[in-house]
Amino acid sequence: MLSRHPESCRFPHGHTRQIEVVVFGPELDENGMLLDFKALKLAIEDHLERYDHALAVNSADPALPSLQAHFPENAFVLFHDAEPTTENMAKEIYFYVASVLRDGFEHGPYRIDAGAVGLERVRVWETPNTWAEFSES
């Protein structure tokens, strides 16, 4: 819900989004990879899953208290004093993925060594033809 949008985007609606993560690094590992994409998926899937079937809402949206009275807490992804645009989603996801790459990750045989891989950008596709991306460069 985009509370400041002049038309129908201010009402609850949904999108089938895809997320693209572009990484870079100085060298490949013994398997010829910067990192195992399965490790990256495991590291970020819970964070991304919270968007599925949730209502993304600006924390300052005047309709939020009414919505919260009818739906459980996990039904929302709140953007603090920001509109939940695709651009802001790309930015939020970028900083999350960057923190995983900076701090590292390990789950069974899957690992990402801290600081070994950098994040170039995150692109969030809103539709097959429209997207927004965020990078710090």
Radius of gyration of the chain (CA): 17
Question: 3-class SS at 36?
Answer: coil
Whether the model clears a pTM of 0.85, i.e. scores above it, the answer is: yes
> Dmax of the chain from CA atoms?
54
DSSP-derived letter for residue 26 is S
pLDDT tens-digit readout, 76-121:
999 999 999 999 999 999 999 999 999 999 999 999 999 999 999 9
DSSP-derived letter for residue 123 is E
User: At a CB cut-off of 8 Å and minimum separation 6, what does 14 contact?
Assistant: none
Q: Give the start-to-end residue ranges of the domains of the chain.
A: 16-49+84-134
What's the topology of domain 16-49+84-134?
Tetrahydropterin Synthase; Chain A (3.30.479)
Nearest-CA neighbor of 60 among 88, 81, 89, 77? 81
